[in-house]
Amino acid sequence: MQTNKLKIIPLGGLGEFGMNCLALQWEDDILVIDAGLMFPESELLGVDIVVPDITYLVENKEKIRAIVLTHGHEDHIGGLPWILSEIKVPVYATEFTLAYVEGKLEEHHLLDETELIEIAPKQKFTIGPFIIEPIRVTHSLVDCVALAVETPVGIVIHTGDFKIDLSPLDDHAFDLHTFAEYGKRGVLALLQDSTNVERPGYTPSERAVRPRLDEIFSRARKKLFFSCFSSSIYRIRIAMELAREHKRKVCIIGRSMVESTEIAQDLGYLDVPTGLVINPGQMKDYPVDQLMVLISGTQGEPMSALSRAAVDNHKHARVDKGDTVVLSSRIIPGNEKGIFRVIDHLYRRDANVIYDDGSHGLIHVSGHGSQEEMRLLINLVKPKFFIPVHGDYRYLRRHAQIAMETGSVEHAIVIEDGDVLELDRDDARKIDKVTAGRVLIDSGSSIDVVEDLVIRDRRILSEDGIVLAILAINKRTGIVERTPEVVMRGFAAGDITEEARMCVMKTLDSLSGEEKTDYGMVKEKVRVDLKRLIQKSTGRRPLIMPVILEI
């Protein structure tokens, strides 16, 4: 009789959106699926990224055979440098995902010491006791796969992020046939993406945005700025095709957008005709009705290209009266304030701003399947056990409910980060809990773990001190009413207080009147410039808090 059991141990992504990471363990062999991050909430001051607590992996590092990635979004690959700095194992991913991973690892000086292995749909490979077949799925990014993992007790399928698009732009359709074949063979457990579980019906194909975007292009009379996620290769491809059809040259602005389009072009996902793309410096050589600017910053990030262009502070991207600005992405919860701040600035420039507010027609579609797609896949796979993944707890519970309603699932099991789910051919039950949670990272010059926010702030205050930059700004005019006060406590600042005050004044003088009304940008620029001055002068990294008093 079979006495050994398979363990499924989620370390991130079950109970929150982001930092997806899950371990499959059979005896002394562990396979890790995905290694994501999430971005911090606004109250996590001084934190750059949030990654899963990998204490369990570190404690069992000799058992880990590999990390396998489903696709290249940050919530699935962003934690790789953090994990690989602790654990040296091979990384398996598709060609496009590996291109993103290479750039990320090179940035953290981990590329030379990491073995990267390319995988492809329908090509099985073996890691320890696991036989893995990648299955083509469609998503908002290209080259995405689900993973069918053959274990000694049965087949486990992890969908990764998916929607069922049977007519994607690259003609690599969702592989329903292979999922159905596994359903006929018998599947022990299905782990399915829960992101859109609250949305009824089906998620439209990526092609569905083209008619509305075509209409926008045809009506634009001056420059057209197009912003989307830099990883949305399908959307970028549609924008470039429409630019060519409407006889517009394309200028690409923003580091992430430039990198993504270069990778997509190199790997054949973007076919860019010669002469279509111009350098930013060439924009002045063309009439305004013959230009499309592909620009990053769709989520209102304070120092992104679009945010700077919105306040007329970008070297090349200038938004003028009558220009059209399209934000072809969803508003991620938590980013509303920054996005609407940018939109306000764009309206001040008399631009025609089109964003996903429900009234402009379809300019964005989700990359995640809705309820009917979830039901379709469940009915094809017919798993014995169903395990929802990716999402807040209420999403997981709702997803389990939908799975049971299909009648194709024997048991739906909701687990969270740290739970140990043990399975054999007949039974599945939670038996234990391992260390799990969030690790806060300050990725300034190196990867520094913020073990606890309070402890971190106390350490900074005790060792490096605090700097308060107090700015009195007229709410109506944006004018700085009096010389800024700079208060330094907790470190030997020498005689740089006056120098710091002059630094703040210089920063404020460099801002336009409109920028001064954008307190998010004011605070960030003051903080960055003060940090640079203080580090150079004293070697310290104090907690810097710009405070704006509205007069």
522 is in an annotated binding site: no
* Ramachandran quadrant class, 322 (left: phi over 0; alpha: psi -120 to 50; beta: rest): left
CA dist list (Å): 95 to 27, 206, 231, 257 = 31, 21, 14, 19
| Ligand-binding site membership of 419 (annotated) | no
Q: Does 364 appear as a known binding residue?
A: yes
Binding site annotation covers 368? yes
Q: Is 432 a catalytic residue?
A: no
- Backbone φ and ψ of 354, nearest 5°: -120, 120
Number of Cβ atoms within 10 Å of the Cβ of 213: 22
Paired tokens of 252: 């690409």
Residue 368 annotated as catalytic? yes
Among 439, 384, 440, 389, CA closest to 419 = 389
**Residues counted in the chain:** 551
Find out whether 390 is annotated in a ligand binding site: yes
Q: In sequence order, what DSSP letters do the residues of 338-403 get, joined into one string? A: HHHHHHHHHHHTT-EEE-SSSSS--S---SS--HHHHHHHHHHH-EEEEEEESB-HHHHHHHHHHH
Is 161 flagged in the annotation as binding? yes
Is 366 annotated to bind ligand?
yes
Q: Which of 158, 314, 345, 368 is catalytic?
A: 368
Helices marked H in 227-296: 233-245, 255-266
Judge whether 408 is annotated as a binding position: no
On whether the CB atoms of residues 295 and 194 are closer than 8 A, the answer is no
How far, in Å, are 277, 304, 343 from residue 297 at the CA level? 20, 5, 11
Q: Give the phi and the psi of residue 62 in degrees, each rounded to 5.
A: -70, -15
- 73 marked ligand binding residue: yes
- Return phi, psi of residue 34, to 5°: 70, 155
| H helix or E strand, kind and range, residue 181 | helix 176-185
Pairwise CA distance, residues 328 & 236, whole Å: 10
Handedness of CA 276, 277, 279, 283 (dihedral sign): positive
Q: How far apart (Å, rounded) are the C-alpha atoms in residues 493 and 486? A: 12
399 is in an annotated binding site: no
3-state helix vs strand vs coil in the chain, percent to 5:
35, 25, 40
The catalytically annotated residue of 53, 143, 175, 193 is 193
246 labelled ligand-binding: no
Residue 452 vs residues 46, 50, 107, 233, 435: alpha-carbon distances, Å: 12, 12, 26, 37, 15
Coil, strand, or helix at residue 265?
A: helix
- With CA atoms as reference, report the closest residue to 195 among 75, 102, 97: 75
Q: In DSSP terms, which residues pair with 277 in a beta bridge?
A: 250
What is the helix (H) or strand (E) element at residue 31, kind and residue range?
strand 29-33
Instruction: In whole angstroms, give the CA distance from residue 243 to residue 326.
Output: 13
- Residues in the annotated binding site for Ca(2+): 46, 48, 442
- Residues in the annotated binding site for substrate: 364-368
- Active-site positions read 193, 368
- Residues in the annotated binding site for Zn(2+): 71, 73, 75-76, 139, 161, 390
- Residues in the annotated binding site: 46, 48, 71, 73, 75-76, 139, 161, 364-368, 390, 442
